[in-house]
Structure 1
Amino acid sequence: MSSDYAPPDSPLDVIHADHEILIVNKPSGLLSVPGKGPHLADCLIMRVQVAFPQALLIHRLDRDTSGVMVFALTRHAQRHIGLQFEKRMTKKTYVARVWGMIEPKTGTVDLPLIVDWENRPLQKVCHETGKSAQTDWRVLRGDATESRVRLMPKTGRSHQLRVHMLSLGHAILGDPFYAVGEAREYDRLMLHSEELRLRHPDGGEGVKFRAKAPF
């Protein structure tokens, strides 16, 4: 990744900001946090802190995934929402374009995941030592070449959606790690965090934030 990191030079896309939280639409190709070395310093948290110096990290999206991310603007909000992620109280919805036609139209992938140490940062299914991971999916539309799906992860494992779709035989289009052949030949990973639901740290009211997929 270090040699080909060319993050997009797009302005910060703020969806919502109040006294406790900041919601941003992350572009594909931008790291959530800095990588190792000065060449990987440009990232979303650094850009956010230019405009919101008090912003604190709560969660991450993969470099190649776009969409809704929440940042805390107070320590209270960071603890409050961090606990919601830890206890799986947040609801995340993604949109993806995947290779081929998926049948049936809905289902759940329940396969444990672990890092593939010899091929890091890749992940793999492992029933012996993997951590529990579940993803609900629903086909929105499709044809013989590709399907557009809505993905609702119940857990938040690294590369979970990528590996779970691959396990069905339908790699996410443009995936530099798991797609092969024509499925890989796209200008970006076709995976977008479309909606995030959580409890607001000031009062606990349920709120949701959305960003339309750019593909």
Structure 2
Amino acid sequence: MRGRAKPPPAPLPQRDGIDPVRVRLPEDPEGRWATVGDHLRARFAGAVGAERVDAMFAEGRFVSVRGPVSADEPYAAGRYLWFHRDFAPEEPVPFQVGIVHRDAHLVVADKPHFLATTPRGRHVTETAVARLRRELDMPALQPAHRLDRLTAGLVLFVVRPEERGAYQTLFRDRLVRKEYEAVAPYDPGLVLPRTVRSRIVKERGVVAAREEPGEPNSETRIELLEHRAGLGRYRLLPATGRTHQLRVHMNGLGLPLVDDPVYPVVEAEGDADDWSRPLQLLARLLKFTDPVTGEPRRFESGLRLSAWPER
């Protein structure tokens, strides 16, 4: 059986560092849609409404490889269309994305707290990948992995799309040494270092992940680097990458990270970010053998956690 043909390149450029949406018109054995407009009105009625779809047609927002598409064009299954979605206003994150390293293959960025890595939910243009595409004029730039929005530190971006899979495989196969730094309460009665293994479950629509009985699916080594004034500075070495893993494991030990808005108690949802209280978690180090060049790579963040100032 033949596979589906590869989609043609998008005829629209990026807007604000975001790719256009691609739509493939599906098969219609029941003959529900006589025109392109019939299908798109039905498809996006719940998201933006039929009137908005008609307005986008009038504005020439829907295009094919041959140019703008009109609402009354005959429906043709398998045809590709593109459009730019409307971006809701976003509050700019008032911190810069630092560049730790840049070459022909990689851009290693120091992502600030509060900035999402990739578009998701209400964070679209205010994301690290969108910013870097705009600021570096690199529209093909793609992340090899993700870092939580509230976590600061190193994120690896791939310059050439054809090489992205090789770098993503490094993270999938746990061939990258990742070190994090965190500030949390100090407990003199807790024996460290130790390795925590547990089963973490994260449900869609629920802010906090939780630990539950069962076969472990997460593992973190926790080391105390130093302590003072009731706080400790910790090195966290995750062997797996579950959502909120480090925050969940530290909270499970009775050491919730300083200024964590979720653990141990979820703060009121919908509140604006408090730029003065960043989560005290930093992706400090990435170390691996480059799958493209074969050379050893080691990158270290230039950021510091505000709850642990230099003396």
Distance (whole Å) between structure 1 residues aligned to residue 216 and residue 201 of structure 2: 6
C-alpha contact 2:256 2:263 (8 A) present in aligned 1: yes
Cα distance per residue 1:58-109 (max 9 Å; x no partner): 1111111000100011134311111111110111000000123252231111
SS in 1 for 2:248: helix
Cross-structure match for 1:136 = 221
Structure 1 residue 127 displacement after superposition: 2.4
Cross-structure match for 2:126 = 42
Cross-structure match for 1:104 = 191
Structure 1 residue 171 displacement after superposition: 0.4
SS in 2 for 1:78: helix
Q: How does 1:21-170 map to 2 (within 5 A)?
A: 21-37=106-122, 40-50=124-134, 51=136, 52-101=138-187, 103-116=190-203, 120-128=206-214, 132-143=217-228, 145-170=230-255
SS in 2 for 1:152: strand
Higher strand share: 1
Distance (whole Å) between structure 2 residues aligned to residue 131 and residue 60 of structure 1: 22
C-alpha contact 2:92 2:126 (8 A) present in aligned 1: yes
Distance (whole Å) between structure 1 residues aligned to residue 92 and residue 284 of structure 2: 21
Structure 2: runs of 5+ lacking an equivalent: 1-89, 267-273, 306-311
Cα distance per residue 1:94-150 (max 9 Å; x no partner): 000012325223111111111145x6131111223x761000011011146211100
Cross-structure match for 1:191 = 281
Structure 1 residue 7 displacement after superposition: 4.6
Distance (whole Å) between structure 1 residues aligned to residue 239 and residue 229 of structure 2: 28
| Larger RCO, structures 1/2 (Cα 8 Å, 6+ apart) | 1
Structure 1: runs of 5+ lacking an equivalent: none
Structure 1 residue 180 displacement after superposition: 4.9
What's the TM-score, normalizing by structure 1? 0.87
Cross-structure match for 2:300 = 210
Name the aligned partner's letter for residue 42 of structure 1: E
Structure 1 residue 212 displacement after superposition: 3.5
Q: Which runs of 4+ in 1 moved over 4 A?
A: none
Distance (whole Å) between structure 1 residues aligned to residue 229 and residue 98 of structure 2: 35
Q: CA RMSD in A?
A: 2.2
Name the aligned partner's letter for residue 114 of structure 1: V
Distance (whole Å) between structure 1 residues aligned to residue 160 and residue 221 of structure 2: 33
What's the TM-score, normalizing by structure 2? 0.61
SS in 2 for 1:92: strand
Aligned length: 205
